[in-house]
Chain A
Amino acid sequence: MAGVKIAAAASGGSAEIAGPPSSSANTVLKLPADTGSAGQVLKVKSANHSATNAELEWAADSGGIASTHVGVAKAWISLDIDGSDGNRDSYNIASFTDHGTGDFTLTFDTDFANTTYVAVITNDLSTYNYRWTSGTSGSGYGEEYTMSDRAVGSCRFQNLNFSSTNGGMRNATNAQVVLFGDQ
């Protein structure tokens, strides 16, 4: 098992953690002398990303790896354009625009880096719709969202209604949208 050596800091500067002396290519981890302050996290100094010996520094926690990771949602919203509830909760959504029945645009607070982002969207129904599974005709309906006007700062959604009697749009009630992509 490899050992770790902590060498004395010179003149109160950085302490060093080194691998076993028999190795010819020890990785040296330098800890900053400053212990930082509450809420800060240790980050690799951006200037030293490609240095032979990477250095860490105490810095503000701006979300770090979690919020920028490609697998993390970059924006989401739960909204009810149809009713007075409006925006129930959201993240990175600057505004929502009601264009008409079943038609709305989301504008992002921080834009995406490109327009290859993806969206996941669904609606709540007030009650379970048995006609979807029973195949019985009547006033039951199916719905499908489409996304258009895709831009780095916004995108538009339309809620299509496949009712037996109404092939048009349906109000966006209890809509939930989650977006993934590069920022």
Chain B
Amino acid sequence: MAQVIVHTNDAGFASITRATSEWKGTLDELATKMNLSNYEIVDDSKLPSDRTFRNSWVKGSGVVTEDITKAKALAHNTRREKRTVEFKPHDEIISLNIPGTDTSAAETSRAAIRTKYATMQTNIDNATNIAGIKTALGD
């Protein structure tokens, strides 16, 4: 089983270091070369397999876990991005007020989108685990 060096980086996430085949020393020697003082060597299998919420990974004891609070914050960013994409064509119709376009239909569509993403927001907040957050996002 491949092993990796895990340490907490300046952003508060878990950093994962993998040696290449060119490195002939041990992982402890590599950590010394990297000037790491607070690190742990763990099996690759102890890392999350899904990188959807990569910036929620935190170093535990012999394991890397996903912090649900950080994951929810990332999920809300994704939710806003998705909402912006769906809003965009309707926003253009309304803001440009192009003759011959149906602005009231665009407003109706925008209202439906707002409702959809308000529900998603609630579902993300109520999720109790990573799988629940992904389900709320529709991933």
Do A and B interact? yes
Interface stretch, picked from A33-41, A93-101, A119-127, is A93-101
Would you call A98 and B16 a contact (CB within 8 A)?
Answer: yes
Q: Please, how many angstroms separate the alpha-carbon atoms of A107 and B51 in the complex?
A: 23
Interface stretch, picked from B7-15, B93-101, B104-112, B119-127, is B7-15
Interface residues of B in 35-69 (CB under 8 A from A): 51, 54-55, 57
Q: Which residues of B contact A101 (CB under 8 A)?
A: 51, 54-55
Residues A100 and B55 in contact in the complex (CB < 8 Å), given A94-B23, A95-B23, A165-B81: yes
Would you call B22 and A92 a contact (CB within 8 A)?
Answer: yes
A114 to nearest B CB, angstroms?
A: 18
Interface residues of A in 39-93 (CB under 8 A from B): 77, 82, 86-87, 90-93
Say yes or no: is A22 at the interface (Cβ < 8 Å to chain B): no
Q: Which of A91, A97, A166 contacts B17 (CB 8 A)?
A: A97
Would you call B22 and A139 a contact (CB within 8 A)?
Answer: no
Would you call A96 and B54 a contact (CB within 8 A)?
Answer: no
Would you call B13 and A90 a contact (CB within 8 A)?
Answer: no
Say yes or no: is A154 at the interface (Cβ < 8 Å to chain B): yes
Q: Which residues of B contact A94 (CB under 8 A)?
A: 19-20, 22-23, 30, 33
How many residues of chain B get a CB closer than 8 Å to chain A's CBs?
Answer: 25
Interface residues of A in 136-167 (CB under 8 A from B): 137, 139, 153-154, 165-166
Would you call A97 and B15 a contact (CB within 8 A)?
Answer: yes
Would you call B34 and A154 a contact (CB within 8 A)?
Answer: yes
B113 to nearest A CB, angstroms?
A: 14
Say yes or no: is B18 at the interface (Cβ < 8 Å to chain A): yes
Q: Which residue of chain B has the shortest Cβ distance to A86 in the bound complex?
A: B18
Q: Which residues of A contact B54 (CB under 8 A)?
A: 100-101, 171
Q: Which residues of A contact B5 (CB under 8 A)?
A: 95, 97
Residues A107 and B33 in contact in the complex (CB < 8 Å), given A96-B17, A97-B17, A165-B85: yes
Would you call A91 and B22 a contact (CB within 8 A)?
Answer: yes
Q: Please, how many angstroms separate the alpha-carbon atoms of A109 and B20 in the complex?
A: 9
Would you call A96 and B18 a contact (CB within 8 A)?
Answer: yes
Interface residues of B in 57-89 (CB under 8 A from A): 57, 77, 81, 84-85, 88
Q: List 24 A-B contacts (CB under 8 A).
A: A86-B18, A93-B22, A94-B22, A94-B33, A95-B20, A97-B15, A97-B17, A97-B18, A97-B34, A98-B18, A99-B11, A99-B13, A99-B15, A100-B9, A100-B55, A101-B51, A107-B34, A109-B22, A137-B88, A139-B85, A153-B33, A154-B34, A165-B81, A171-B51
Residues of B within 8 A of A (CB): 5, 9, 11, 13, 15-23, 30, 33-34, 51, 54-55, 57, 77, 81, 84-85, 88
Additional A-B contacts beyond A97-B17, A99-B9 (5; CB < 8 A): A96-B20, A97-B16, A98-B15, A153-B33, A153-B34
